[in-house]
Chains A and B, each alone.
Chain A
Amino acid sequence: MSETTSDFMVKRLQAWGIRRLYGYPGDGISGFLGAVARAGDGMQFIQTRHEEMAAFMACAHAKFTGEVGVCLATSGPGAIHLLNGLYDAAMDHQPVVAIVGQSSRMAIGGSYQQEVDLQTLFKDVACEYVQTASHPAQVRHLIDRAVRIAKVRRSVTCLILPNDLQEVPYEAPPRKHATIHSGVGHATPRVVPSEADLERAAAVLNACERVAILVGAGALGAAEEVTAVADRLGAGVAKALLGKAVLPDALPFVTGPIGLLGSEPSWEMTSHCDGLLVVGSSFPYSEFLPKEGQARGVQIDLDGRMLSLRYPMEVNLAGDSVETLRALLPRLTQKTDRSWRDTIEKNVAKWWKTLEERALVAAKPINPQRVFWSCRHGCPTAASWPPTRARRRAGSPAT
């Protein structure tokens, strides 16, 4: 049997390093699934209970590995079910490729059973790239572009595959006018702000006496750099929820969560700071940030679209968090007055006591806070449990 269009697409996904698909079958995607089956151990198919779960899993795969997550669904209802999970990925800027089936090419436009206008359905969530395949010689660049754009734009992309196309023999693009000859491969650029912007940012932070740092998902992997900058500036660090794992909560200057379900030391810090450094966060609740005009703001974000979005920043730094913090550090002068940092650390210590007291308040039957507190304290004694706790020890970054 000659190689089908689907066989080629599965091989192309493998060439991109993709080895696992989360999804749910249906006759609209059967040709593609046949190719996944023929790939054997080279491509793992994980069957979920519902397509939305497959999209969540693809999103989580991207979040936990940094790779592209791929989910798969059949035409019509299966495709519709994916949506909420895809929006989760899109809004948290995760690279996810959705592969969905569609009615046969000769039936499209015929109000056929399970025919939904998928191009329109996915146009918003996969706004960076959504394409319907119509010819076997087209699928090579469709796969290459869907994966590359998902990675480069940290976004959701979508390929719609009419089911008859999935089974026809693959054709390489011929060498002639109006054909596309794409390749595999991705490069991660080193993104650092300009020297002038770094100097301006350092001048602002050096002039402030009470700096609050807020970190989010963009600071994951920058534990060392965030800590060094916080030490240099005598600052405390609050964490938006997606930045929970940036630094361990047990560090004395980490004020923990922020917001309506945040901590008192985070609230105290943002209420009284005169400088705000935001690293990789689009934390939405502005009422928990300083009042406008209270603090001079500096923000670091890889995505320039996210700068000065929640607080009017004096200096916007478009750059990778690790590289930018490293470039910033030598320009920052060591704060010698430690009173601001001491106050933050005192508030943090007091907050841990409050949390313990509140967790131990009797309730009917169990105080929910006690469930989390006991995970940290009552256990674990199991020898096989690694030395990572709900509240981590100082010096062991949560990565």
Chain B
Amino acid sequence: MMASLSGNLATMGPGVPYAIAAKFAFPDRVAIALVGDGAMQMNGTGELVTIAKYWREWADPRLIVLVLNNRDLNMVTWEQRVMAGDPKFPASQDLPDFPYAEHAVRLGLDGLRVDNPDQLGAAWDRALSADRPFVLEAVVDPNVATLPPHITFKQARAFMSSMLKGDPDRWGAIKQTLKDELA
């Protein structure tokens, strides 16, 4: 298996175009793009049109785009909380919803929106056995914190201070973080 991402520039949005290039380079292999909803709105929904234009040329048509749909620019939201100690700023962080899977189906691709964890295994099965590119849209919780290996005292203080400053999602975020810690 090969894997890549934008490492040093760390730009948003290369997932879907990288996967397309992977399919042209290795049309007999499966490509999977792991994409957030922000990146999908930035570049991904447009490049699904490119996939729709070319997928029939690929010996194995499977290209799976996993979209994590949480209607939040979540990584930066958590950076605001943990690094800057600021509450989430809804004007910059909230994302409008978009029907990613439905958009794929309308383009002649396949897709499925999943909002129940028990459906995930079957959804992956369907995506991996599809006869064409597939958008797997998972509706996920923005209050699950990305996992630092250790929260330093400074970061913990910043997180709590962001909560005290009136983060609009504070109760969900605190509850979810405690659940993770107790797990």
Give me the interface of A with B, judged by CB distance under 8 Å: 20, 22, 44, 46-50, 52-53, 56-61, 63-65, 69, 84-85, 87-88, 91-92, 217, 240-242, 244-245, 260-264, 266-267, 282, 284, 354, 357-358, 360-371, 374-375, 377-382, 384-386, 388, 392, 398-399
Contacts and interface: CB of A to CB of B under 8 A. Distances in A.
A364 B46 CA distance: 29
A65 B21 CA distance: 10
Contact of B49 (A49, A65, A84, A388): A49
B100 to A, nearest CB: 14
B125 A88 contact: no
A379 B118 CA distance: 12
Contacts of B106: none
Contacts, number: 199
Given A61-B24, A381-B125, A363 B11 contact: no
A56 B17 contact: yes
Given A48-B17, A53-B47, A378-B122, 8 more contacts: A53-B50, A58-B21, A244-B4, A260-B148, A360-B183, A363-B176, A366-B138, A380-B124
Given A22-B21, A50-B43, A56-B18, A91 B129 contact: no
A398 B3 CA distance: 9
Nearest to A256: B149
A198 to B, nearest CB: 28
Pairs A-B, 10 closest by C-beta atoms: A378-B121, A60-B21, A363-B141, A91-B8, A382-B129, A374-B120, A56-B17, A267-B149, A57-B21, A379-B124
A379 B121 contact: yes
Given A22-B21, A361-B179, A364-B143, A60 B4 contact: yes
B128 A53 contact: no
Contacts of A57: 17-18, 20-21, 24
A44 B27 CA distance: 14
B29 to A, nearest CB: 8
A60 B22 contact: yes
Contacts of B165: none
Contacts of A69: 21
Given A363-B140, A369-B144, A392 B1 contact: yes
Contacts of B14: 56, 59-60, 85, 88
B141 A266 contact: no
A379 B128 contact: yes
A264 B150 contact: yes
A368 B141 CA distance: 7
Contacts of A284: 8
B2 A398 contact: yes
B43 A53 contact: yes
B40 interface: no
Given A61-B25, A365-B141, A399-B2, A242 B7 contact: yes
Given A56-B21, A60-B18, A366-B141, A48 B1 contact: no
Given A56-B21, A58-B21, A365 B26 contact: no
B162 interface: no
B147 interface: yes
Contact of B147 (A56, A244, A266, A358): A358
A88 B149 contact: no
Contact of A367 (B30, B53, B140, B148): B140
A367 B139 CA distance: 9
21 contacts: A49-B49, A58-B21, A60-B18, A60-B20, A69-B21, A84-B9, A92-B8, A244-B3, A263-B149, A358-B183, A361-B183, A365-B140, A366-B141, A367-B140, A368-B68, A370-B120, A374-B120, A379-B122, A380-B128, A385-B30, A392-B1
Interface string B93-134: 000000000000000000000111100111011001100000
B4 A64 contact: yes
Contacts of A263: 149
B50 A48 contact: yes
Contacts of B2: 63-64, 245, 398-399
Contacts of A260: 146, 148
A386 B28 CA distance: 11
Contacts of A217: 7
Nearest to A287: B152
A381 B50 CA distance: 29
Interface in B153-183: 172, 176, 179-180, 183
Given A57-B21, A61-B21, A371-B140, A366 B147 contact: no
B18 A357 contact: no
Nearest to A58: B21
A382 B125 contact: yes
